[in-house]
Structure 1
Amino acid sequence: MKIVTPHRTPDFDGFASAYAFKKINPEFEIVVSGRFQQNLEEFLRLFEFKYLRDVEINENLKELVLVDTASLDRIGSKILEKITDYTKIVAYDHHPKLKLIDEKIEVDSFEIGAITSYFVLKIKENGIDISPEEATLFLIAIYEDTGNFLYDTTTVEDLEAAKFLLENGARLDWVQEFISFELNSEQKELLHLLSENVETFNIYDYKIAIAKAEIEKFIGGLNVITYKLWEFEDLETLIVVVRMGKKVFLVGRTKNDDISIKKIMQYFGGNGHEKAGSATLQNVSLDEVIYKLKDVLPKFINFSKKAKDIMTSPVRTVFSHENIGKVYEMMNLTGHGGFPIIEGNKLVGIVTRKAVDKAMRHGFSDRPVKSIMTTSLVTVHEDDPVFKVRKLMLENDVGRIPVLSKNNILVGIITRSDLLNLDEKELKKEKESTLKFEDVKHLMVDRIPSRILNLLRLIGSYGEDKKMPVYVVGGFVRDLLLGLENYDIDIVVEGNGLEFAKYASKQLGAKMVEHEKFLTASLFFKDGFRIDIATARTEYYEKPADLPQVDISTIKKDLYRRDFTINAMAIKLNTKEFGLLYDFFDSRKDLKEGLIRVLHKLSFVEDPTRIIRAVRFEQRFGFKIEEETLRILHETLNGGFLEKVSGQRIRQELEKILGEREPLNAIKRLAQLKILKHIFPKTYFTSVMEKKLENLFNNLRIIRELYKKVNIFYSLLRILLEYYDIDTLKQVIKKYGIPKKFIDEIKATETRLPPLLNMIKYKIRFSDIYKVIGKPSAETAAHIMSYIDEEDSKEYFVEYLKRVFSTKLSISGNYLKEKMNVKNSVEIGKVMNELYCRKLDNPSINEEGELKKILEDET
């Protein structure tokens, strides 16, 4: 096998030079490792260039050609693994001052602005034909690497190559679009105007959008504006119609193979590519062009095959009551990756191999398959076009789609394999495009303090130094997109996270604490600020509710292990891609729609504390737990998995809820979803309990002012565990790590509450109240106040607490011994308590005079 490859994450020059090399040497295969840079990726989504991405190389690697690099450190690991002592390695680069060259590599280095220029001139010399699209690719590469021919590395050869490409149909408007991504103020205004005038309609189930605008002045860059609108609005097909002065300009883009933008534009006297094109008309009105456009559009839609043409039929199904173990055996026997589930002759769900494998790993072989099936079915009808099937499969990230007849009877199933057989390479390209990227650098600049932003930039630069992709992930990303303040920074590194952390700590002068077992480290700065750094990893659980085991993985798998989609996004920090949002799971969409969604079927089983966390996030953001996630949540609860979690972990989740702005809403939701019952089985949430909790949280500020410190968790338990029997209380305090004295305090308060509340209501003397409860703990005071609804009663009790805190005796027990000749310690305590009570009622008493009265009364 012979391979030509650019460096990882290639730019235009890297990919174009590899492509040009293959034009000259067709026996070579182009293999690309890593991700394309953003503008190149956008270009390749519109044009079809053949290449292989991160493939398994099963043959002997006879010859390897490197372009735009001369270092083996910069190419993909899968290629490196196949290099043998007999592999010939040649490198073509245009960086004359190369640092270190491996002696195994034959290097051809040229003083030239773009290495693509060298190969283009070879193409010209050999008389090889190139298409306008290929010429445009090469020209963009040359423009980009020569800085529009302004860099001092630009040579005459670069200009000669550009001249040849223009003669062969290279389009400068495309060069402009993919070299410049920034709009000027006039272009931004036109983009805004178009975005406000988008009309979307269906033609035979094909969704097409037309955006229109009228301006008197000519504004250039309509291709760029159209492209940005098309991407920003996430439109399948967009045609922009703009009148500028006396001319009407049309620009079209599509992601659909069945719509020919080229033919549409040719109808209006223009031209283009199958998925992109433009036209210009004179002396016609905007409305006339749009009317004609709508009229002719159906003529340029090429209907593809229908679902019934590629579906597998008849369908192998399983009944909902069949156990998971049997389904597992059927999958192994047939090789199927999933089965439709039938109940009462109705299609009720679908089960995947991934779900079955996980269930078997957790020992669920005897459970019915319906317990792990997905009920949120994505289906198509037999006459639906294949493009619709493909789109649904990609959008919903499912591997199989049931096909229904006109009478909604299951007649077949379409799998990814069926689509691959239809068009393997095209499906692969579309599958890759489901990963959504978004440049959020502007949000970072606007919303993050400069100190934090500069720190993130530095971390990204260290990623460049260590040749490791670096990301900020999780809650920081979520809250950035929501416009919320959150400076808890979690960094994930694709590579050795501990090695990276050591390097970063040294550069930043921060103290590093290593957690080798979990492949993580924390950096602490002198002012107390902290960041956490982890190796990109996947967590797997030996059995339900255990803490996870950890293994090295990739950023996608690292995000997939997280609790909910809204927490499963990453922002790249490396210098060249700083601010690029990675969204593998439609997380941005769930964030916009306000949905809490798990990433896989057994998420709650693997970590049941996510059940409590789902409620916390739902209430914090005012979101909703997504319907399928809610169903999985109830199944996990009913399976008793929350009871298997240690009390310490549940307590941590409850304490996080108590740290929220409105904890009562989350506790009510826990009760509503029956989660509270699985945490405290003898707690019955009623309107009376709700009122007590409301009082508790309303009065916490007062309690804090008086006591300075209050344990909110214990205060909550005082209400939730009221009137529990002693044995159950002992079980609870043991599980949740609560001091044994808690039982004595709660039982004492329960006994004293009825008379005490009457005393407060009728404003009985402080001394009498003191004889009932003394100086209560903060938690006892909060418990009592949870029962008080009337404002004047609350004020009276608060005044009592203030009095208890402020009342001090100047006379001690020694005074009684020495001056009053009272020797009995019990008697001394009794007298001092009485004196304290009298001072509670009247802070201005004369203590000595009052003491004599007490002693006289005693005698």
Structure 2
Amino acid sequence: MKIITTRSRPDFDDLAACFAAKRLYADHEIVIEGKPEEKLERFINETAPHLFFFHKFEELELESVSSLIVVGTVSENQLPTALAPFLSRCKKILFDHLGTAASENWDKVISGNYGAAITLLCRELRDNNVKITTEEATFYAVALYRKTLNFSLFTTMPEDLNIGAWLLASGASLEKVLKYQKFSLNRDQRRHFQKLIDNTRTITIKGVEVGFSEIKLKTVPQGIFELIEKLWITLGYDNLIVFIRTSRDTFIAGRTRYREIDFSRIFSGARLSSYPNFTLAYYQEVDFDILKERIIKSLRENILSFVQVREIMSSPVRTVLSEMPVKEAARIMENTGHSGLPVIGNNRLVGLVTYDNVRKAIKHGLKNVPIKEIMQTNLVTIKATDSVSEAARKMVENGSGRILVLDKGILVGIVTKSDLMRGVLTKKSQEFETLRLETSKVTDLIERRLEPDVATMLRFLGIVGSEVNMPTYVVGGFVRDLLLDRKNYDIDIVVEGDARVFAKTFSRYFEVTCVEHKEFLTTSMFFRNGLRIDVATARTEYYEEPAVLPNVEVSTIKKDLYRRDFSINAMAIKLNQEEFGLLLDFFGCKNDLEKGIIRTLYPLSFVEDPTRILRAIRFEQRFNFKIENRTLELLKKHVSQNYLERVTGQRLRDELEKIIEEPDPLKAIKRMEELRVFEHLFPDSVVDDEALRMLDRYFRRKKSAKPKPVYILAMILLKNAPERSLDYVIKRYGFPRKFPDWIKRAVNISEKLKRTVQSGEQLTLRTFFYLLKKPEPEVLSFIDATLDDKASKLLHDYLERIERIKPRINGKLLIEKFGLKEGPEIRKILEELQLAKLEGLHTEEEEKFVKELLGSG
């Protein structure tokens, strides 16, 4: 018998390649082991079961095999067990699309370096001018699209797309291709994926982070490249090595973000198959532990090519403007110690000025000429992703002491000779191994702690993410509060893709209004019931100047989380169907949450966004946490260096209002005073015992948002401040022009009430009536904060009564019935009548009361 076969339980690509091989070897029969995947059987039954007929080894009694055609990267020990008695006697031909097979085990090997087995077989059909039917073209196209994930998988090669074009020209149905696209992992693949996640660790070698994972299986599973790609995307590593152990052999996959990195030096002695950003190594019959040790050793020896410029560059970069006079550049260099500064003109990098040139210019009397007159324009630049060895080469070739680092044309850093030496030497001494990424499933918490409709919404967001092929995550405070078992319905979604496309797709299923914020790559979705979900493209922020809003660029989830304010807010939960509930923790965030620590993720966090100073205090007091020691040092440093003054007043006001909305804002206010924050927010403010007592009363008693609480906070802290400070606050925070008048009246009335009490008199409705009349809500709130609980109750009783109790007799009636003329007498009578009503005068007694007043008058 002459047989065409492939691995057991074949997928679309395996079986399609078998049928393509039969067109080349028509006298062979297709025989497979195991049951094909369900979608594959359904496709054959729907398309042309009479054309795509095959046998199963379980149904045959083989007496002999004279010729064997095998498609796919399959070693002898992975062949169907029924063939074992015949392997030594039959002719064996292998179609190996990865090019890693050992040719000595086969009579003939036809190999390539393609993303799918069907590509290799279709290449043979095309080159031999074999005409195929539309049904065959459709079958092969479905297999090709599925295997390469619509030509997006990292193993995709140019020839895969060429074959795709050939199949379309041969009549392939794109409708069928779309129907049978692959969006999710099957059950076995999900199990393998979780095991790979569980077995992942990070090794940092000379400052370079490399993720390692391993799994032991009987054979290399179907869809292994899809698994590696999903693992790499999920973990967010720049470099990832995956060991796949079988009973006799070991496959190693190296995945990297950078084309410059070549794993072939690391995987020495292996049969290799290389793709852009990916290398597959195959070792036969080796001791796994010895091999792994050898790979890590080789990695350590060759790691310098992995060290990238971004690891050692100085950033952010201090720049000067092209029109700036030379003397100003000299002053900046003396203050900062920089011996060279990039020059910016018309918002782009135009040159470099060195201290030597500045010093010489001043010596020749050119201190007032623009820098552009003396700057160098022959710039030496490098990409942040280039290797350190490339930076060193450029320095030597150009005789330069510094190289400017560009990312998509934007200046992001600078590398000097000292950076190069210090960076490499430091990283050699920092070699360590550590578990970095933590993952766990929190599906049970989602189901147990969230309202059913919220949990369902999260699942649907993941379904939409899978539909548009975007990794989808819920991030930030929602994740934090889920782990803390606190209610939070502010849902922030991050997708690795276009947030606008995601929101548009989502809107097909729900009636939402989408509002795009193009500058921040976000889209807000508003539901009819008031729910709002913000969807953002995973992004990295960079700040052109301290304290200004950031520019953003597309990034991965790991980098997106790294830009966030504090570690407790830097976790994500994946929502896509196959990985729903997977918690991603790249930075030890969950550990900080459990220990009750507020920690920034990088030293310049408060420089780039000083409002995080107020946010750190708010979170510390809300959760009863502690600001981590290093973070606290940075906070104090940047408060004292006036970074809060660099932020717009509106952003600071927003943060203050959030603090006031906390259940116990007084704790945060005391902490702010302890850290000397208020002197930078409200100059000449005083946070003494009296102010704290007033604030405590106000926060305990406030019933509504009117007046705005931030006004009352400022009035209390600035009650004795000079006029210049009040003017500053008005301009900086957009307070009303009446703000100083409110304080003046509130303090005046409060002092009179205080003197009344000190004289031994009781506060009465009459007292409030003559002092207050009807002041603004802001003045009333301030006054109320000066009163003890008993006096406050009387004040509120007065306010309630004066609003509710109105005399029947008015000014018009006094003129018509009592013959009074318009003037101050009417106003005085009405005031006395109003007071009497407050103190209990009945309506039927009003006329008598007025007559008595007139009679006594």
Structure 1-normalised TM-score? 0.57
Shift of 1:615: 0.5
SS at match of 2:523: strand
Q: CA deviation at 1:67?
A: 6.2
**What does 1:300-339 align with in structure 2 at a 5 Å threshold?**
323=336, 325-326=338-339
Deviation at 1:609, TM superposition (A): 0.7
Q: Distance in 1 between matches of 2:654 and 2:470?
A: 34
| Cα 1:89/1:414, change in 2 over 3 Å | farther
Within the candidate set 518, 524, 527, 1:525 is matched to: 527
Distance 1:515 1:590, change over 3 A: same
Identity of aligned residues (%): 36
Structure 2, unaligned runs of 5 or more:
1-10, 13-36, 38-70, 79-93, 101-110, 119-142, 179-187, 190-212, 226-244, 251-286, 315-333, 342-353, 356-379, 390-402
CA RMSD for the aligned pairs? Answer: 5.2
Give the equivalent residue in structure 2 for 1:254. Answer: none
Alpha-carbon contact 1:355-1:601 (below 8 Å) kept:
no
Residue 125 (structure 1) aligns with: none
Which consecutive residues of structure 1, in runs of 5 or more, have no partner in the other structure? 1-5, 8-12, 31-60, 104-112, 115-132, 146-164, 172-271, 277-299, 339-352, 374-398, 403-411, 420-426
Within 2, Cα distance between the matches of 1:654 and 1:582? 31
Partner of 1:227: none
Which amino acid is the alignment partner of residue 801 of structure 1? L
Q: Is the 8 A contact 1:594 1:624 kept in 2?
A: yes
The alpha carbon displacement at 1:622 in A equals 0.9
Q: 1:134 to 1:806 in 2, by over 3 A?
A: closer
Label 1:491 to 1:85 Cα distance change in 2 as closer, same or farther (>3 A).
Answer: closer
**1:695 equivalent in structure 2:** 697
Residue equivalent to 2:824? 826
Counterpart for residue 763 of structure 1: 762
Query: What's the counterpart of residue 637 of structure 1?
Result: 639
Q: Paired residue for 2:792, among 788, 791, 794?
A: 794
Aligned-partner Cα distance in 2 for 1:436–1:816:
81
Decide whether aligned partners of structure 1 residues 489 and 324 sit closer, same or farther in structure 2, where only a CA change above 3 A counts. Answer: farther
Distance 1:572 1:143, change over 3 A: closer
- Determine the C-alpha separation between the residues in 2 that align with 1:581 and 1:418: 29
**CA distance 1:454–1:742, change in 2 (3 Å):** same
d(CA) in 1 for partners of 2:673, 2:580: 44
Task: String of CA shifts for 1:756-786, please: whole Å, max 9, x gaps.
Answer: 1243573244223321121343332321232
Distance 1:90 1:416 in 2: 50
Question: Does residue 736 in structure 1 map to residue 733 in structure 2?
Answer: yes
Supply the distance in 1 between the matched residues of 2:405 and 2:750 (Cα, whole angstroms): 53
Is the Cα–Cα contact under 8 Å of residues 684 and 721 in structure 2 kept in the other structure?
A: yes
Residues 471 and 496 in structure 2, CA contact (< 8 A), matched pair in contact too? yes
Determine the structure 2 residue equivalent to 1:615: 617
Aligned equivalent of 2:804: 806
Instruction: Specify which structure has the bigger relative contact order, considering alpha-carbon pairs within 8 angstroms and separated by 6 or more residues.
Output: 2
Return the offset for 1:850: 1.3
Select the residue among 745, 748, 757 that pairs with 2:745: 748
What is the CA deviation profile of residues 279-328 of structure 1, one whole-angstrom value per residue up to 9, with x for unaligned ones? xxxxxxxxxxxxxxxxxxxxx9xx999x9xx999xxx9x9xx99463599
Decide whether aligned partners of structure 1 residues 625 and 19 sit closer, same or farther in structure 2, where only a CA change above 3 A counts: farther
Counterparts of 1:644 and 1:134, CA distance in 2: 49
Given that residues 765 and 841 in structure 1 are in contact (C-alpha distance below 8 angstroms), is that contact kept between their aligned partners in structure 2? Answer: no
Aligned partners of 2:707 and 2:778 also within 8 Å: yes
Give the 3-state SS of the residue equivalent to 1:517 in structure 2: helix
Q: Is the 8 A contact 2:682 2:725 kept in 1?
A: no
Give 1:592 deviation, angstroms: 1.3
**What is residue 115 of structure 2 aligned with on the other side?**
65
2:546–2:609: 8 Å Cα contact kept in structure 1? yes
Cα distance, 1:802 vs structure 2: 3.1
Name the counterpart of 1:499.
Answer: 501
Q: Deviation per CA, 1:220-254: give whole Å up to 9, x if none.
A: xxxxxxxxxxxxxxxxxxxxxxxxxxxxxxxxxxx
Cα distance per residue 1:357-390 (max 9 Å; x no partner): 9xx989999xxx9xxx9xxxxxxxxxxxxxxxxx
Report if the CA contact (8 A) 1:472-1:570 is conserved.
Answer: yes
| Distance in 2 separating the partners of 1:801 and 1:356 | 65
Match of 1:727 in 2: 724
Would the alpha carbon gap of residues 844 and 73 (structure 1) be closer, same or farther in structure 2, given more than 3 Å must change?
Answer: same
Per-residue Cα deviation, 1:518-576 (whole angstroms, up to 9, x for no partner): 22222222222221111112222232222222222221222122111111111111100
On the 8 A contact 1:440/1:581 being kept in 2, the answer is yes
- Of 415, 437, 449, 2:427 maps to 415
Which residue of structure 2 aligns with residue 141 of structure 1?
221
3-state SS of 1:545 partner? coil
Cα distance in 2, alignment partners of residues 323 and 436 from structure 1:
40
CA distance in 1, matches of 2:219, 2:165: 24
**What is the CA distance between 1:727 and its match in structure 2?**
2.7
Distance in 2 (alpha carbons) for counterparts of 1:436 and 1:615? 27
Out of 61-70 and 768-777, give the one that drifted further. Answer: 61-70
Letter in 2 for 1:507: Y
| Alpha carbons 2:97, 2:113 under 8 Å: kept | no
Distance change >3 Å, CA 414–CA 604, structure 1 → 2: closer
Q: Quick one: which amino acid aligns to residue 605 of structure 2?
A: S
Q: Is the 8 A contact 1:835 1:854 kept in 2?
A: no
Name the SS for the 2:852 alignment partner: helix
- Give the 3 Å change call, closer, same or farther, for CA 589–821 of structure 1 in structure 2: same
Residue pair 2:97, 2:114 contacting (<8 A) in 1 also: no
Matched ranges for 1:436-835 at <5 A: 436-701=438-703, 704=704, 709-759=706-756, 762-789=761-788, 791-835=789-833
Matched, 1:83 2:133: no
1:627-674 C-alpha deviation (Å, 9 max, x unpaired): 111122122222222112111111110000111111000111111111
2:405/2:412 contact within 8 Å kept = no
Amino acid at match of 1:325: H
Alpha-carbon distance, 1:515 to partner? 2.4
Deviations 1:447-496 (A, max 9, x none): 11111111111111111111111111111111111111111111111111
Q: In 2, distance between residues paired with 1:785 and 1:541?
A: 44
Change (3 A) 1:418 1:770: closer
Summarize deviations over 1:384-408 as a string: whole Å, max 9, x none: xxxxxxxxxxxxxxx9999xxxxxx
Measure, in 2, the Cα distance between the counterparts of 1:606 and 1:472.
24
Larger of the two Rg values belongs to structure: 2
- Check the 8 A contact 2:574/2:584 in 1, yes or no: yes
TM-score between the two structures when normalised by the length of structure 2 = 0.57
Aligned partners of 1:565 and 1:590 also within 8 Å:
yes
CA distance in structure 1 between the aligned counterparts of 2:733 and 2:802, rounded to whole angstroms: 32
- The Cα of 1:62 is off from its aligned counterpart by 7.7
Residue pair 2:538, 2:557 contacting (<8 A) in 1 also: yes
The DSSP-based 3-state class of the residue aligned with 1:471 is strand
Contact 1:400/1:413, CA 8 A, preserved across alignment? yes
**Structure 1 residue 73 displacement after superposition:** 4.1
**Structure 1 SS opposite 2:514:** strand
Confirm or deny: 8 A CA contact 2:73 2:97 kept in the other structure.
no
Counterparts of 1:522 and 1:751 in 2: how far apart (Å)?
48
Q: Is the 2:598–2:619 contact (alpha carbons within 8 Å) kept by the matching residues of 1?
A: yes
Corresponding residue SS for 1:415? helix
Measured after TM superposition, the shift of residue 605 of structure 1 is 1.3
AA aligned to 2:614 is I
Q: Is the 8 A contact 2:547 2:609 kept in 1?
A: yes
> For residues 258-273 of structure 1, what are the structure 2 equivalents within 5 Å?
none
1:35-84 Cα deviation digits (max 9, x unpaired)? xxxxxxxxxxxxxxxxxxxxxxxxxx98423269521444546665x637
Distance 1:484 1:275, change over 3 A: farther
> After superposition, where does 1:117-136 map in structure 2 within 5 Å?
none
